[in-house]
Amino acid sequence: MRNATYGYFESNPLPAGHHENYSRATTRQVNWDAKGLVITRLRLLTDPGFPLYDVSYCHGMIGDEHVIVQLPFSQLVKRKWKSEIIAYAKRDGVYAKGLGILDSVSILC
């Protein structure tokens, strides 16, 4: 979605009330290899012309519990971000597609 007023592009906009469930002060933080984890949102930020995406945050669920997900990367190359996530996942013994990380990406530029 492009915002004409502010000039930014956002894919996969936030659902209403999303951030209220993920306060850093009260939400448990887990690594992406946590048992039962399903990633609900990976937020990537960038500027036009910059070759990388910066990871802003990653949120997930374990059962009914909202969790903040710690990832083994903080930047990804724009043109191959999916393959980089898969490579990190293979290295860590994580099944990226099964986590839902590739389907939960939101990009803001």
Q: What is the pLDDT of residues 64-96, one digit of tens each?
A: 999 999 999 999 999 999 999 999 999 999 999
Q: What domain count does the chain have?
A: 1
Question: What does the buried/exposed string (b/e) look like for 77-96 if buried means 16 or more CB atoms within 10 Å of the residue's CB?
Answer: eeeebeeebbebbeeeebeb
Determine the pLDDT at residue 22. 64
User: Distance (Å, rounded) from C-alpha 47 to C-alpha 57?
Assistant: 17
- Beta bridge pairs of residue 105: 42
Query: By residue range, what is the domain housing residue 61?
Result: 2-15+23-108
